[in-house]
């Protein structure tokens, strides 16, 4: 499925602007779970007047409308993901890269034995450790 930034914003009730389209395009093209700083640094060559505050506020708007997800897997930096379908994340504690991890079931609420009467609204699944590139040889 090909996704278009303008269509994505419209589907989430967000009016497009030059800044919003640029930030969403960056998120969709760079599946690296970038931080506000990374997005700002990448886009200022294209939009010199873009402030870090605008990037932050744009990402907050995307998260509030469900167009992006904010990850708190790394306590030092919040990072953002344009993929909002259920999936898990893996943080390599050596190189710092965050990877998308497919789920065996799309219902994270089914992954735990919740007490009767609990009504979860969201669930997040994070793994931490060494990625394949950073892990010591398993020979």
CATH code (residue 76): 1.10.10.10
Per-residue pLDDT of the chain (139 residues; tens, 9 = 90+): 447 999 999 999 999 999 999 999 999 999 899 999 999 999 999 999 999 999 999 999 999 999 999 998 877 788 999 998 889 999 999 998 999 999 888 777 777 888 989 888 878 889 999 999 998 765 4
Residue 137 lies in a domain: no
Q: Are residues 52 and 120 in the same domain?
A: no
DSSP 2: -
Report angle CA 88, 93, 96 to the nearest 5 degrees: 80
Strands 88-92, 79-81: parallel, antiparallel or unpaired by DSSP? unpaired
Q: How far is CA 19 from the centre of its chain?
A: 18
Asked if residue 136 belongs to a domain, the reply is no
How many CB atoms lie under 10 A from the CB of residue 133?
A: 9
Residue 124 and residue 77 share a domain: no
């Amino acid at each position: 499925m090909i996704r278009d930034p303008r269509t994505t914003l419209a589907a989430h009730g967000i009016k497009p602007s030059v800044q919003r389209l640029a930030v969403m395009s960056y998120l969709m093209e760079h599946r690296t779970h970038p931080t506000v700083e990374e997005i700002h640094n990448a886009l200022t060559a294209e939009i010199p007047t873009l402030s870090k505050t605008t990037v932050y506020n744009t990402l907050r708007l995307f998260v509030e409308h469900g167009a992006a997800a904010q990850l708190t897997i790394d306590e030092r930096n919040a990072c953002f993901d344009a993929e909002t379908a259920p999936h898990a994340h893996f943080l390599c504690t050596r190189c710092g890269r965050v990877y998308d991890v497919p789920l065996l079931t799309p219902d994270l609420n089914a992954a735990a034995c919740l007490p009767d009467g609990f009504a979860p609204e969201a669930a997040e699944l994070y793994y931490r450790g060494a990625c394949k590139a950073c892990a010591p040889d398993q020979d």
